[in-house]
Chains A and B, each alone.
Chain A
Amino acid sequence: MAGTTELRRGMIIMHNGEPCILIEKEFYSPGKGAAFNRCKLKSIKTRKITYEVIKSGTKVDELDVISKTVSFLYEDGINAYFMDPETFEQYDILLSEIQGGKSFLYTEGKYIITLYEGKPIYLQIPAKITLTVVSTPEGVKGDTVSNATKEAELETGLVVQVPLFIKNGDKIVVNTEEQTYYSKA
């Protein structure tokens, strides 16, 4: 059993008799009231999504899983492939099961993968990730104080709006939840 302070993305809990992955968790404490955790759960068997509110201080039934740091190898449009750099063991996971698909997968990027009964079931994408700009039109000179933005294609194929001063080859920090430009790296 685990307390609610231990709830985290990627953990597996028994919910209504079914093992579920915790996909999202938001702590929530009203100005004057009891605190809760809003959880988005995905059943491992049926892939069905449920939303649950878990009161802080209660116990949840956590199942044993293994989390590993792996590096991204490649994707083939259906699966993404990762490798444990220590054991050279390879894992594949459906792109459709990964937040943002391939948008945040870059070669040699490090990710945390969750294994349940030996099988990879969840890939954790960091909240912010640094990616290289591969294609963006040149900004207009002398316009650095303006607020206009332009499109930039990143190494993963993701396209985001960026400020005009960003150039090809620049590394930028992307907010993965919102899929938006955050800052220059």
Chain B
Amino acid sequence: MKTWQLLRQNRHLFQRYFVKEFLIRGIREFFQNKKYHELESPILAPALPQERYLSPLHVEVKTSNFESIAYIIPTTERYNKIILAAGLGDHFVITKVARSSEELSKNHSLEFTMCEWYHINGTYLDLMSDCEDLIRFLHRYIYDSFVKEKNLGRFPIDLSYFYEDYIIYQDEKINIKYPFYRKSVPDLLNEYSQIDLNNIQDESDFRSNLKSKNYINIENLNWQEMFELVFAKEIEPNLPKDRPVFVYDYPKQVCVLTKPNATNNLVCEKVELYICGKEIGNGYTELTDWHLQKINFDREMKARKKLNLQTINYDYELLDALKLGIPDVAGIGIGLDRLAMIFANVKNISDINYFSINEWDIFNSK
């Protein structure tokens, strides 16, 4: 049964679909209070940053002006940085983005709603504070919105699962008081995998280390893939769930658009926000040095070629913007579908979207 048919018979289910609507409204209010501008981003782009694991969707454009492919943006990053070079300053964007995925699952859809913001003169530490403020604000905002909706009497609304300072998600009680946990990747590697980042810089050393820990099928993996494997197998499942967690300082090998950390040259200033084991956000102190950015793009372009991945049109315009100069800035993207899943307490991304791909008639045809 499709969602619209289900909703016709089960009016109480509307509540979970209202969450994303309230989230979007709340985010606008939050950033307006901070005097941020809102950028309306295009959803198509002629070129994208080179990143080895990016799987953008694209459309074929045939007009009398040109024939080319256009990417459906997987993130708004290129537009944010270009408009920063123009001088817009602090701003946020809420838009749909799309990413190809080899499988659609309860946490993955082809398209999703993203909020990105760029904090001028900020670093990833400021992004962590912004996220704490935003999550707490939204928690309150959603509750207030449901109270208003309940008073209107149009839909059955359940307020029983709202608690001050806590989010209930599945069987977890997530404390959202200040501060959220902050854990660096080098510390997490030490704590959960007994790996010292200093000792695995060489790919073969990393491989021997993993072999001694009984990892199998790692012969053909490169450094980045081995890191992702350790992270997926030993770190991510063990991240605490009783509070949101900021994981920060990622190895430089897996960072492309991120500023290197000044005090530890093995890592870059990247932060990811996890709530209840779900990856919700990804941000950086942005790399503003165009020369370094070009080196990273070239490295990633070569890696894509080696991995036999689709070529992505090189983003010269973004490099031009960096050449002219953008201010020191930190930027982050938050996946609103996953955040809505947490606030609505549902397990499946299709349970917070009225129309989801797994309801297309062809979905189960294979």
Contact = CB atoms under 8 A, between A and B. Distances in A.
Contacts of A16: 216
A27 B53 contact: no
Contacts of A51: 237
A56 B225 CA distance: 11
Interface stretch (A33-41, A75-83, A89-97, A107-115): A33-41
Nearest to A38: B232
Contact of A183 (B13, B102, B106): B13
Please classify how large the interface on chain A is, using the bins under 10, 10 to 19, 20 to 34, 35 or more.
20 to 34
Contacts of A144: 156
A29 B232 contact: no
A55 B6 contact: no
Contacts of B156: 144-147
B246 to A, nearest CB: 15
Contact of B233 (A53, A56, A178, A183): A53
Contacts of B216: 16
Given A36-B232, A53-B232, A147 B158 contact: yes
A26 B233 contact: no
Interface in B194-227: 216-217, 221, 224-225
Contact of B102 (A5, A33, A163): A5
A32 B228 CA distance: 10
A177 B348 CA distance: 12
A137 B311 CA distance: 62
Contacts of B54: 32
Contact of A147 (B160, B221, B224, B256): B160
B254 interface: yes
Nearest to B216: A16
Given A5-B102, A16-B216, A27-B108, A145 B153 contact: yes
Given A27-B102, A30-B228, A178 B254 contact: no
Contact of A56 (B12, B51, B102): B102
Contact of A33 (B101, B107, B228, B335): B228
Q: Which of B53, B54, B347 has the most CB of A within 10 A?
A: B53
Contacts of B335: 31
B10 A28 contact: no
A17 to B, nearest CB: 10
Interface of B: 1, 6, 9-10, 12-13, 51, 53-54, 101-103, 105-108, 153, 156-158, 160, 216-217, 221, 224-225, 228-229, 231-233, 237, 254, 256, 272, 279, 282, 333, 335, 347
